[in-house]
């Protein structure tokens, strides 16, 4: 079972976006525990996570644990941030697209990741959270890139593909220890560099673009599956 099952449960665009970012936010550790925690989290959000957020129902959240170091207070942080983002941009794709299309910008997905983190902090009075990685501190931002893969990629039965305005060619591999280990064993990454950081995620993505320029991240599932099996 994969955490992407949770955004697949919804049909409304806003609910799918929110579910993708929340499911990926707790996607670390044992897969069975991730699924159990996600079930608990989405039970709190009800039939429509978007309505739960925009109606302010998140204010009723308490301090209970959701998943390992992710508590209801962290879920409340995401809810407050999402509410601010939806009020400003209409949807989360517009947020990322505005960063990618900004004059003078690099036009890559990292610009969107930076803006997402900044806007989520603004929605929380300028406070940042450890549960939204900082790419400017050289984080590979595995969980954010995972949610972006789900939302942008249009091929296959797993990914959602609801963001039509962002090309899959811009995606970055969701790099974790499993993907990094397999990529080094296959010679896709230099074995001498062991850090699974932003620099490594970019290097691996560039290597995969050599195989498929239009959709380099289609190899993510194969690399992750091989790594998890080792």
The model's pLDDT over 29-42, given as tens digits with 9 standing for 90+, comes to 999 999 999 999 99
Three-point CA angle 180, 185, 191, nearest 5°: 75
| The pLDDT of residue 1 | 65
Residue 230 has pLDDT above 60, yes or no: no
Beta strands in 31-126 (DSSP E): 65-67, 70-71
3-state secondary structure of 71: strand
State pTM to two decimals: 0.96
Domain ranges of the chain: 3-137+158-166
The model's pLDDT over 159-209, given as tens digits with 9 standing for 90+, comes to 999 999 999 999 999 999 999 999 999 999 987 889 999 999 999 999 999
Q: Average pLDDT, stretch 106-118?
A: 96
């Amino acid at each position: 079972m994969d955490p992407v099952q949770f955004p697949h449960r919804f049909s409304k665009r806003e609910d799918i976006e929110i579910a993708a970012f929340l499911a990926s936010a707790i996607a670390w550790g044992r897969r069975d525990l991730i699924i159990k925690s996600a079930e608990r989290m989405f039970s709190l959000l009800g039939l429509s996570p978007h309505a739960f957020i925009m109606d302010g129902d998140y204010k009723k959240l308490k301090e209970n644990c959701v998943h390992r170091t992710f508590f209801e207070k962290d879920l409340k942080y995401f809810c407050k941030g999402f509410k601010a983002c939806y009020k400003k941009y209409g949807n989360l794709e517009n947020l990322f697209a505005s960063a990618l299309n900004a004059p003078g910008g690099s036009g890559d997905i990292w610009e969107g990741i930076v803006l997402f983190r900044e806007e989520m902090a603004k929605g929380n009075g300028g406070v940042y959270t450890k549960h939204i990685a900082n790419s400017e501190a050289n984080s590979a931002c595995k969980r954010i890139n995972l949610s972006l893969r789900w939302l942008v990629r249009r091929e296959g039965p797993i990914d959602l593909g609801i963001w039509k305005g962002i090309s899959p060619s811009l995606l970055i591999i969701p790099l974790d220890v499993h993907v990094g280990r397999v990529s080094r064993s296959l010679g896709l990454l230099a074995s001498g560099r062991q850090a699974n950081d932003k620099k490594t995620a970019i290097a691996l993505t560039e290597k995969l673009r050599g195989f498929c320029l239009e959709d380099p991240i289609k190899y993510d599932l194969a690399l992750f599956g091989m790594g998890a099996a080792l």
